[in-house]
Amino acid sequence: MKTPRSLSAIISLLLIFSGCAKPINISTLSMGQDYCQPNTYFPNTPIHWFNHTEIEKIRNILPEYSLHNLYTANAIGILPLLIKKDNAKNDSLFDKKALQFQILLQIQQASEEIDGLAATLDCEGEKVDQIANYLDKINQKRNNKLTIASIVIGSITTIATVAIKKNATQNTVAIGGGLLTSGVGAMTINPAGKKVRWPQNRNLLGTIWTENNSESLISPTIWYMLTEKEFSNSKKISLAESIKQRWLTINFQEEISAEDEITFFKKGGVYAADDLHMRANMLNELQATIRSLHQDLASFTNNIAQGELMKR
């Protein structure tokens, strides 16, 4: 039995709207891959960190500081300066002020490193959201076309079944048109949509996921604060571990595929709009955690100020 012209038209119409296109390459969108990364960096010099036993001993030497604030000083690398300041009782006023200025300068540098990393994450999050919204608009246009196609197919099917006199042909058109209308409807409910191919050369999310800062994407001070358990509320897992657990639970329902791990936390890959929205949320969550480290610096600075007042 030959396929009626009306049914052929319906099939052709469906193919027009359901064709799959290749993923968009991020470079074609003039969205430079790394423009959020700073072109200058703070000196990434190694810091000598004291271990837990050594910090407990230092606490006996500097009882005016809380244990948490001593860990903050350790992160910044100024515990030796605090000890030196404590022993500088007989030094000249100039030497004491110089030492105090050096301590405050390093606290300020740590604060700037936090702000710099937070700004990078904010920029990355906005960039990802911008591309996600771009894909959302394309996909919305596609859905609108599919809706129109569904209406047209339904209309053609109705007209064809009325116009065709032969029962067999009429039934074929009715069934075929019904199936095509259902197919287009299903595509509207669960569309494949446009996607974007996006390599990740400097993946800050991956640094947290793998708990590996070998590429030095995060400064030593911030990395210490993210990976030292004393900076978390529970003191049982680090901030980095806590973030990773939330990502795994909320975004991947406790199980992540090898492909998703590469796409989100390693080399990047092909993202749908929903994937990009999820990536933006993870970047924003990491940014919020980084900004919260200012509270540790504020607590430490207040501790220093109170100690100075007690000595007067």
DSSP 60-90: HH-TTS-HHHHHHHHHHT-HHHHHHHHT-TT
User: Considering the domain boundaries, does residue 52 fall inside one?
Assistant: no
- For the ranges 48-62, 187-201, 266-280, 294-308, the lowest mean pLDDT is seen at 187-201
Q: What element of type H or E holds 196?
A: strand 195-199
User: Considering the domain boundaries, does residue 50 fall inside one?
Assistant: no
Which DSSP string do the residues of 255-286 spell out, in sequence order?
---HHHHHHHHSSEEEEEHHHHHHHHHHHHHH
Q: In the structure, what pLDDT confidence band is assigned to residue 213 with cuts at 50, 70 and 90?
A: very high
Give 306's contacts (C-beta < 8 A, 6+ positions apart).
64
**pTM metric for this prediction:** 0.78
pLDDT in tens, 218-265: 999 999 999 999 999 999 999 999 999 999 999 999 999 999 999 999
How much is the pLDDT for 139?
Answer: 76
Residue type, 194: K
User: Considering the domain boundaries, does residue 187 fall inside one?
Assistant: yes
How much is the pLDDT for 169?
Answer: 53
Q: Provide the domain count of the chain.
A: 1
User: Considering the domain boundaries, does residue 98 fall inside one?
Assistant: no
Contact assessment for residue 229 and residue 275, using Cβ atoms and an 8 Å cutoff? no
Q: In the structure, what pLDDT confidence band is assigned to residue 155 with cuts at 50, 70 and 90?
A: low
CA–CA gap between residue 270 and residue 264 (Å, rounded): 10
User: Considering the domain boundaries, does residue 103 fall inside one?
Assistant: no
Contact assessment for residue 240 and residue 246, using Cβ atoms and an 8 Å cutoff? no
What is the DSSP secondary structure assignment for residue 21, as one 8-state letter? P
Contact assessment for residue 44 and residue 220, using Cβ atoms and an 8 Å cutoff? yes
User: Considering the domain boundaries, does residue 54 fall inside one?
Assistant: no
User: Considering the domain boundaries, does residue 225 fall inside one?
Assistant: yes
User: Considering the domain boundaries, does residue 102 fall inside one?
Assistant: no
Q: How is residue 8 written in tokens?
A: 């052929």
From residue 19, how far is each of 16, 134, 150, 236 by CA, in Å?
Answer: 6, 20, 15, 52
The angle at the Cα of 136, spanning 21 to 209, to the nearest 5 degrees, equals 90
Range of the domain at 306: 5-37+108-311
First vs last Cα of the chain: how many Å apart? Answer: 103
